[in-house]
Amino acid sequence: MDIDGTLIELAERPDEVVVSTGLPETLNRLSQRLDGAVALVTGRRLDDIDRLLGRLPIAAAGQHGLERRDAAGHRTTHAVDRTLMATIADRLQGFAAGHPGTEVEDKGLTVALHYRRAPDAEEAARRFVKEALRGVGDALSLHDGKKVLEVKPFGVDKGTAVREMMAAPPFAGRTPVFIGDDVTDEDGFAAVNDLDGISIEVGYREPTVARYRIADVDATLALLASLADRNGEGSMTDRGI
């Protein structure tokens, strides 16, 4: 599952989100019911996940799959040119300094330029980021999100994270289910579809390759709570997906 816009409502700034009471416990119970086969796949850093949800004993992929942690706590990180990422982050900081309301989120392996509080700056931000990436070739890629432009190394995404997780216990041999809301979740949807799994979009964004939809964050939380109930019965279709 993605986090922002899926398990937690979006906020004006990434550090202003509010975690619903009971969400960590629901995730913990769901993991126990599925023998540990639950994972969070997000653009946030792994450390941010812990700050928001506590140190849950479940698997997680941060920064769109560039860093992963299994349920036992073992961490792996894809190789990244950190000097290049720092250079791009500095350039974006220069843009933000001249455009009030925009904000740079430097996550080390990726960097994001948020313009939720300055929607009129979107066009200028997009032009600036594209210019900042000129000359880096295929090393980095630009990705749209909800009022955010994210720069990350090319070749690793949420689909990569899903495939890596599905290749090892406790996920191997199971039917994958991926729940997300944003453009970057499309890679996860596509990977799950290729694996004959269940892809679920939160909300009604188009276009999408997700095969199912669920209305909003509240509906997602209700679904997870129902699935986490060991006495719960019925299929996902029964629960309105």
For 34-72, what is each residue's pLDDT tens digit?
999 999 999 999 999 999 999 899 999 999 999 999 988
Give long-range contacts, CB 8 A cutoff, 24+ apart: 117-121: 117/12, 117/13, 119/147
Q: Using CA atoms, how far apart are residues 28 and 116, in angstroms rounded to an integer? A: 32
| Selection from 9, 7, 4 nearest residue 42 by Cα | 4
Determine the pLDDT at residue 158. Answer: 97
Give long-range contacts, CB 8 A cutoff, 24+ apart: 9-17: 9/217, 10/116, 10/146, 12/116, 12/117, 13/103, 13/114, 13/116, 13/117, 14/44, 14/48, 14/105, 14/114, 17/52
Over residues 183-217, the pLDDT tens digits come to: 999 999 999 999 999 999 999 999 999 999 999 99
Over residues 116-166, the pLDDT tens digits come to: 999 999 999 999 999 999 988 889 999 999 999 999 999 999 999 999 999
Whichever domain contains 227, its CATH number is 3.40.50.1000
Is 2 an active-site residue?
yes
Other beta carbons less than 10 A from residue 131's beta carbon: 11
- Of the candidates 131, 153, 175, which is a domain's last residue? 153
Determine the pLDDT at residue 231. Answer: 56
Whichever domain contains 103, its CATH number is 3.30.70.1020
Whether 57 and 86 have beta carbons less than 8 Å apart is answered as no
Containing domain of residue 92, as a range?
Answer: 82-153
Q: Are residues 97 and 140 in the same domain?
A: yes
Q: Using CA atoms, how far apart are residues 235 and 31, in angstroms rounded to an integer? A: 18
- Specify the number of domains making up the chain: 2
- One-character DSSP codes across 143-180: EEETTEEEEEETT--HHHHHHHHHTSTTTTTSPPEEEE
Within a domain: residue 165? yes
Q: Are residues 176 and 199 in the same domain?
A: yes
Determine the pLDDT at residue 72. Answer: 87
Provide the H-helix boundaries in 80-216: 82-97, 122-132, 158-166, 186-194
Mean pLDDT, range 66-79, rounded to an integer: 93
Q: Are residues 54 and 169 in the same domain?
A: yes
pLDDT at 182 over 90: yes
Determine the pLDDT at residue 137. Answer: 83
- Of the candidates 114, 130, 153, which is a domain's last residue? 153
> pLDDT-based confidence at 237, cuts 50/70/90?
very low
Within a domain: residue 1? no
Would you state the torsion angle of the CA atoms of residues 147, 152, 154, 160, taken in this order, to the nearest 10 degrees? Answer: -80
Mean pLDDT, range 104-127, rounded to an integer: 96
Determine the pLDDT at residue 238. Answer: 41
pLDDT at 235 over 70: no
